[in-house]
Amino acid sequence: MHVALHYLGVYGVGALKDIALTIVSTILSIILGVLAAAGRLYGPKALQIAIAWYVEIIRGLPAILQLFIIYFGFDQIGIHFSPLMAALIWLVAYGVGYAVEIFRAGLMDVAQGQREASAALGLSPSTTMRKIVFPQALVAMLPPLTSFVVLQLKNTTLLYLVGFADVMYEARLGVDATNQAGPLYVMAAVVYLIISLVIGRIGMRMERRAAAYR
């Protein structure tokens, strides 16, 4: 048996950690992202501006730089996070910046005529949001949300740099120990490829179901 295959087991464990982190951070990002999108669209002016700048900064800086600021940078001012903690804070902080824009675009994607028709029928703003706008926005949001989850999964590859023991971390260790950079990195690529494709498939299925009326 090829030496690289010995690493399948630790890759599996690492992959489970990455998947768990992706799921948890996605859920938190979506919850906070919905709130932030609502604040961005309907909140007081100062809040709108603050959220807009937050989004710009998150989207304007490299992901790795954000991770390093949270893990190494905060250390300078006496705030120290464990690798897991830093990973979670980073993925959520980063994720919210992207989720806000997805929700905002989704909500704005719903035609103005839909809101008008709803208002003309006497439906309240909150009913209009719940029954008319949000269900339609969700359909528009599913494709970018799917890409977003894949993006977050890919972001976990950076976590070995702060010592979080995932697939990449094991791959690095393995290469140091065996000098088998070829098979070990390609195997890591395949692991991420498979998870990404599964996420894409799930997203596509949800889209098809949600968009049945289109």
Q: Does 76 bind other proteins (CB under 8 A)?
A: yes
Asked if 153 and 147 count as a contact pair (C-beta separation under 8 A), the reply is no
Q: Which two tokens stand for residue 141?
A: 């949001």
Q: Is 72 a binder of other proteins (CB under 8 A)?
A: yes
In the complex, minimum distance from the CB of residue 88 to other proteins, in angstroms, rounded to a whole number: 19
d(CA 49, CA 47): 5
Q: How far is the CB of 64 from other proteins (least distance, A)?
A: 5
CB-nearer residue toward other proteins: 31 or 189: 189
Binding residues among 23-62 for other proteins as defined by CB under 8 A:
56-57, 59-62
In the shown chain, the binding pattern of residues 124 to 163 toward other proteins, with x for contact by CB under 8 A and - for none, equals x--x---xx--xx--x----------x---xx-xx--x--
Rounded to 5 degrees, φ, ψ at 173 are -60, -45
Only one of the segments 9-17, 38-46, 91-99, 196-204 lies at the binding site for other proteins (rule: CB under 8 A); that segment is: 196-204
Q: What are phi and psi of 121, to 5 degrees?
A: -85, -5
Quote the Cα angle for 182-7-82, to 5°: 105
Instruction: Report how far residue 198's alpha carbon sits from residue 50's, in angstroms, rounded to the nearest whole number.
Output: 36
192 binds other proteins (CB under 8 A): yes
> For residues 31 and 59, which CB has a smaller minimum distance to other proteins in the complex?
59
Structure tokens given for 45: 């002016």
Residue 33 vs residues 51, 104, 117, 160, 212: alpha-carbon distances, Å: 10, 9, 28, 26, 26
**Nearest distance from residue 188's CB to other proteins, in Å?**
6
d(CA 32, CA 14): 27
Helix intervals (H) in the chain: 8-42, 45-60, 63-68, 74-76, 83-109, 112-120, 125-127, 134-155, 167-178, 181-210
Residue 188 binds other proteins, judged by CB under 8 A: yes
Nearest-approach distance from CB 62 to other proteins, in angstroms:
4
Q: Does residue 64 touch other proteins according to CB under 8 A? A: yes
Which residues of this protein are in contact with other proteins, per CB under 8 A?
A: 56-57, 59-65, 68-69, 72-77, 111, 113-114, 116-124, 127, 131-132, 135-136, 139, 150, 154-155, 157-158, 161, 168, 171, 175, 179-182, 185-186, 188-189, 192-193, 196-197, 200, 212-214
